[in-house]
C-alpha cells in the first residue's frame, strides 16, 4: 500500500519535527511544565492532547478544542475516553493499557467525537512525556477522513485500472533504445497478457516484440522501424504470434521518442490493439464477396448496379462480365458514368420513365428492349429492381437483361409457320371443297341420269310382271319380281342420293322457321303410316322458331321421325316424343323413341353415308338418311348427335341457331 507508506512517512515527518523540538529542549525537558508545553502544542498542526496515566486530559491545543466535543468547556476536567465514540471505549482502554505497560511510541486508530457530535475516524500517535507534573503521554490525533477518502479514490481508480486492463483489447507500451542500439520494452499496461499470452518478464525472456512477429511480416516491421527512426509515427496492422502459437492480428500505433538535439530515436511509445476478430470478420466478408463476384461474373445474363442520384439521374456503380462482353465496353468506360451516356437506348424518355417508376413506386419493372451491340442485335428482357436503404430512400437500382433473342426469333418463326400453315390449310380446304363440289355434281348427274333408264327398267319389268306373268314359268316369274324389286330399291337409293347431293346446291336460306309448322307438315305426311303401325307421335309445346331453310329443316326432322318409326320394337307400341330446350342463341330439339336402340360404338358412325347397322331384310333402308341429316344441320350452322341404349330407345339431339327476336 503505497499510500499508507506515504502517510506513514508524512506522520513520521511530523513526529520527527516534534522529536527535533523535543531533542532541542532535551536538556531542559524535565523542567517543562504543562503551561510551557501548552505553547509548544499550539505549533502542532494536528489535534494534540497531553494525558495523564489515568487518561485525564492535562493539555489540549487549539486545533483539538475546535475538533472535539466538550473540550471547549475546559479540557482539564475531562478524560480522553469522553472524546471517543462509545463503541471504541474498550479499544481505547486496551490501547492505553498496552502503551503504559510498554511506553514506546506507537499508534492506534479510533473514532473520536466531533464537537457537533458526529464521529470522525482518527489515528492516534502516542508517545511518553515527562513533565514536571509527572509522567504523561502526548497524543497527536490525526483526522483520517481525507486520508480515507483518498484511499477510497485510489482503490477505485486502481479497480478501474484493473477492470480496464481486464476488458481492454489493447495494451500500451514504452520501449527504450539502449546504448547498444537495441530496443528494450520497459513498460506495458492493459491487455498485454491477453494479447501476447506472456507475462512481462516471460515476454522479455522470450526475446521481446521482434521474436514474436509472424515471420512473413518481419520485413513490414523493418519498414516500421525505419519510419520511427526518421521520427515518423506508425499506424499499421501486423501479425504477431501468441504464446500458444496462434496468429494474433494487431493494429499498432507507435510514436517515436525523438532526441531533437542528437537527431536520434531514444524510444518508442504507443498502443497495440487486438484486431484478430475484425480481421476474421473481414476475411469472411471478403470470401463471401469473392463468391458473389464469381457468381456475378459467371452468369450469362447482363447484371448491373446503378446509383440513384436524382429523378432520371442514374449512374453505373457495378457491371458484370456479361455486360462488358455484350456491350464491348471496358469497365472504366462504364463505372461512374451516366446510364444514358453509356447506352443510347437508355436515354429515351420511355426508359427514363421506367427507372423513375421503379424508384418512385418501389417496384420491379420489366420490359423487352431491342439493342444493337457489337455482338449483334439483342432482344433482352430488362428487369429493374429498386433497393432502399434503412431510411427508406431508394439509393440503388439493380438491373438485369435476360437475352431472349432466340426465344423471340423462335416465336417469330412459329408465327410465320402458323401463317403459312393456315394459308396451306385454306388452300387445301378450297381444293377439297372444289373436289367435293365436283364429286357432288358428278353424283348428282349420275343419279339424275340413272333415274330415266331405271324408270324404264322398272316400268317395263312391272309390265312384264303384270301382263305377261302367265306366259312365264315359275322361275321366270321369280326373276321378273326380283327385277321389279331391285329397280324399286335402286330408285329409292337414287332418290336418297339425289336428295343428299342436292342439299345446299341451290344455297340455303337463313330465315326464321317456326318448328311447329314444320312438325305440323310432318305429322300430316306421316299420319297414315303412323296409324298403320299404331304409333304415337307427341310434340311437346312450345317449339322454338329457328333460323334456317324450311325444306332443309323439314328433311332433318322427317328423316329422324321416319327412322324412329322404322327402328321400332315389334312387340312394343311405338312412342315418339319431340321436345326442345333453348337459350338465347341456340335451340336444342330432341327426337326420342322407345325403339331398338343403337350400340354406343356406332353413335358417330351412323352419321356417315351408307353406314347401316341392319340388313335390308331386317330393316329396309339406304344408309343415307342420317348422313343427309348431318349435312343439313351443319349447313344451317348446327350440330347433331345421338344418345341411346340398346333395347331402350334413342334420343337424337339437333342444335340449331335460334331466332332471337
Residues that bind ligand ADP (CB under 6 A): 563-564, 566-567, 593, 595-596, 598, 606, 611-614, 621-627, 650
Using DSSP's 3-state secondary structure scheme, residue 239 falls into strand
* Residue nearer to ligand ADP on the CB measure, 356 or 611: 611
Closest CA to 191 of 171, 208, 212, 207: 171
Q: Which 8-state DSSP code applies to residue 233?
A: -
* Residue nearer to ligand ADP on the CB measure, 288 or 608: 608
* Residue nearer to ligand ADP on the CB measure, 156 or 648: 648
| Shortest reach from residue 592's CB to ligand ADP, in Å | 9
Count, residues in the chain: 661
| Shortest reach from residue 492's CB to ligand ADP, in Å | 9
The distance of Cα 15 from the centroid of its chain, to the nearest Å, equals: 81
Closest CA to 399 of 322, 325, 344, 290: 322
Q: Cell 456503380, residue?
A: 317
* Residue nearer to ligand ADP on the CB measure, 172 or 588: 588
| Shortest reach from residue 544's CB to ligand ADP, in Å | 22
Closest CA to 231 of 200, 267, 196, 256: 256
| Shortest reach from residue 582's CB to ligand ADP, in Å | 23
| Shortest reach from residue 580's CB to ligand ADP, in Å | 18
Longest dimension (CA), the chain: 208
Backbone phi, psi, residue 624, to 5°: -110, -20
| Shortest reach from residue 506's CB to ligand ADP, in Å | 23
Give dist(CA 571, CA 333) in Å, integer: 98
DSSP states along 564-587: HHHT--TTS--EEEEEEEE-SSEE
Closest CA to 594 of 615, 611, 571, 613: 571
Task: Measure Cα distances from 96 to 103, 109, 131, 471, 535 in Å.
Answer: 9, 12, 18, 187, 152
* Residue nearer to ligand ADP on the CB measure, 355 or 500: 500
Evaluate the CA torsion angle 383, 384, 390, 395 in order and state its sign.
Answer: positive
Backbone phi, psi, residue 454, to 5°: -65, -40
| Shortest reach from residue 614's CB to ligand ADP, in Å | 5
What would the grid cell of residue 349 be?
424518355
Backbone phi, psi, residue 104, to 5°: -100, 150
Exposure string over 379-409, b if 16+ CB within 10 A, otherwise e: bbbbbbebeeeeeeeeebbbbbbbbbeeeee
* Residue nearer to ligand ADP on the CB measure, 481 or 495: 495
| Shortest reach from residue 466's CB to ligand ADP, in Å | 28
| Shortest reach from residue 626's CB to ligand ADP, in Å | 3
* Residue nearer to ligand ADP on the CB measure, 270 or 649: 649
3-state secondary structure 413-450: HHHHHHHHHHHHHHHHHHHHHHHHHHHHHHHHHHHHHH
* Residue nearer to ligand ADP on the CB measure, 274 or 593: 593
| Shortest reach from residue 627's CB to ligand ADP, in Å | 6
Backbone phi, psi, residue 396, to 5°: -140, 160
Q: Which 8-state DSSP code applies to residue 56?
A: B
* Residue nearer to ligand ADP on the CB measure, 208 or 623: 623
| Shortest reach from residue 578's CB to ligand ADP, in Å | 13
| Shortest reach from residue 520's CB to ligand ADP, in Å | 21
* Residue nearer to ligand ADP on the CB measure, 503 or 564: 564
* Residue nearer to ligand ADP on the CB measure, 44 or 598: 598
* Residue nearer to ligand ADP on the CB measure, 168 or 596: 596
Evaluate the CA torsion angle 434, 435, 436, 439 in order and state its sign.
Answer: positive
Give dist(CA 630, CA 654) in Å, integer: 9
Cβ–Cβ under 8 Å, residues 42 and 62: yes
Cβ–Cβ under 8 Å, residues 565 and 576: yes
- CB neighbour class for 261 (10 Å; exposed up to 12, middle 13-18, buried from 19): exposed
| Shortest reach from residue 537's CB to ligand ADP, in Å | 13
| Shortest reach from residue 548's CB to ligand ADP, in Å | 20
Amino acid at each position: 500500500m503505497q499510500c499508507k507508506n506515504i502517510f506513514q512517512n508524512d506522520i513520521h515527518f511530523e513526529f520527527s519535527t516534534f522529536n527535533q523540538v523535543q531533542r532541542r529542549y532535551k536538556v531542559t525537558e524535565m523542567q517543562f511544565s504543562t503551561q510551557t508545553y501548552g505553547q509548544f502544542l499550539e505549533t502542532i498542526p494536528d489535534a494534540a492532547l497531553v494525558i495523564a496515566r489515568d487518561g485525564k486530559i492535562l493539555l489540549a491545543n487549539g486545533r483539538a478544542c475546535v475538533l472535539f466535543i466538550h473540550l471547549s468547556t475546559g479540557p482539564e476536567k475531562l478524560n480522553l475516553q469522553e472524546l471517543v465514540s462509545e463503541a471504541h471505549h474498550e479499544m481505547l482502554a486496551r490501547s492505553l493499557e498496552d502503551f503504559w505497560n510498554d511506553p514506546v511510541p506507537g499508534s492506534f486508530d479510533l473514532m473520536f467525537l466531533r464537537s457537533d457530535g458526529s464521529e470522525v475516524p482518527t489515528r492516534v500517535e502516542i508517545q511518553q512525556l515527562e513533565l514536571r507534573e509527572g509522567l504523561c503521554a502526548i497524543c497527536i490525533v490525526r483526522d483520517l477522513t481525507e486520508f480515507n477518502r483518498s484511499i477510497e479514490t485510489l482503490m477505485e481508480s486502481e479497480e478501474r485500472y484493473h477492470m480496464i486492463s481486464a476488458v481492454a483489447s489493447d495494451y500500451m507500451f514504452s520501449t527504450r533504445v539502449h546504448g547498444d542500439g537495441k530496443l528494450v520494452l520497459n513498460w506495458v499496461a492493459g491487455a498485454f497478457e491477453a494479447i501476447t499470452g506472456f507475462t512481462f518478464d516471460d515476454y522479455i525472456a522470450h526475446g521481446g516484440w521482434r521474436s514474436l512477429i509472424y515471420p512473413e511480416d518481419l520485413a513490414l516491421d523493418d519498414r516500421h522501424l525505419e519510419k520511427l527512426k526518421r521520427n515518423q509515427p506508425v499506424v499499421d496492422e501486423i501479425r504477431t504470434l501468441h504464446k500458444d502459437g496462434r496468429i494474433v492480428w494487431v493494429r499498432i500505433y507507435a510514436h517515436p521518442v525523438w532526441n531533437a538535439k542528437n537527431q536520434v530515436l531514444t524510444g518508442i511509445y504507443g498502443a497495440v490493439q487486438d484486431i484478430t476478430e475484425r480481421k476474421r470478420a473481414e476475411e469472411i466478408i471478403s470470401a463471401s464477396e469473392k463468391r458473389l463476384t464469381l457468381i456475378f461474373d459467371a452468369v450469362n445474363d447482363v447484371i448491373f448496379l446503378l446509383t440513384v442520384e436524382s429523378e432520371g439521374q442514374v449512374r453505373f456503380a457495378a457491371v458484370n462480365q456479361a455486360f462488358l462482353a455484350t456491350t464491348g465496353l471496358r469497365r472504366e468506360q462504364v463505372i461512374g458514368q451516366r446510364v444514358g451516356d453509356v447506352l443510347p437506348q437508355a436515354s429515351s424518355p420511355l426508359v427514363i420513365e421506367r427507372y423513375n417508376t421503379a424508384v418512385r413506386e418501389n417496384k420491379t419493372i420489366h420490359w423487352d428492349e431491342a439493342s444493337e451491340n457489337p455482338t449483334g442485335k439483342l432482344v433482352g428482357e430488362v428487369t429493374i429492381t429498386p433497393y432502399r436503404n434503412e431510411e427508406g430512400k431508394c439509393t440503388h437500382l439493380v438491373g438485369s437483361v435476360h437475352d431472349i433473342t432466340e426465344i423471340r426469333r423462335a416465336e417469330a418463326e412459329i408465327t410465320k409457320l402458323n401463317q403459312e400453315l393456315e394459308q396451306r390449310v385454306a388452300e387445301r380446304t378450297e381444293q377439297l371443297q372444289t373436289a367435293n363440289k365436283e364429286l357432288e355434281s358428278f353424283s348428282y348427274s349420275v343419279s339424275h341420269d340413272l333415274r330415266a333408264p331405271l324408270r324404264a327398267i322398272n316400268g317395263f319389268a312391272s309390265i312384264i310382271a303384270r301382263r305377261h306373268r302367265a306366259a312365264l314359268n315359275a322361275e321366270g316369274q321369280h326373276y321378273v319380281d326380283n327385277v321389279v324389286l331391285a329397280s324399286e330399291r335402286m330408285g329409292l337409293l337414287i332418290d336418297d342420293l339425289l336428295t343428299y347431293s342436292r342439299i345446299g346446291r341451290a344455297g340455303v336460306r337463313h330465315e326464321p322457321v317456326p318448328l311447329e309448322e314444320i312438325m305440323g307438315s310432318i305429322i300430316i305426311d306421316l299420319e297414315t303410316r303412323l296409324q298403320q303401325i299404331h304409333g304415337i307421335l307427341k310434340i311437346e309445346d312450345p317449339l322454338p322458331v329457328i333460323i334456317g331453310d324450311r325444306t332443309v329443316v323439314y328433311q332433318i326432322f322427317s328423316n329422324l321421325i321416319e327412322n324412329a318409326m322404322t327402328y321400332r320394337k315389334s312387340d312394343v307400341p311405338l312412342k315418339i316424343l319431340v321436345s326442345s330446350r333453348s337459350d338465347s342463341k341456340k335451340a336444342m330439339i330432341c327426337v326420342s323413341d322407345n325403339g331398338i336402340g343403337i350400340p354406343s360404338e356406332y353413335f358417330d358412325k351412323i352419321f356417315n353415308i351408307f353406314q347401316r347397322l341392319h340388313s335390308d331384310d331386317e330393316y329396309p333402308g339406304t344408309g343415307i338418311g342420317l348422313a343427309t341429316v348431318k349435312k343439313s344441320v351443319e349447313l344451317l350452322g348446327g350440330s347433331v348427335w345421338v344418345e341411346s341404349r340398346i333395347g331402350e330407345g334413342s334420343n337424337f339431339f339437333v342444335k340449331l341457331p335460334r331466332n332471337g327476336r
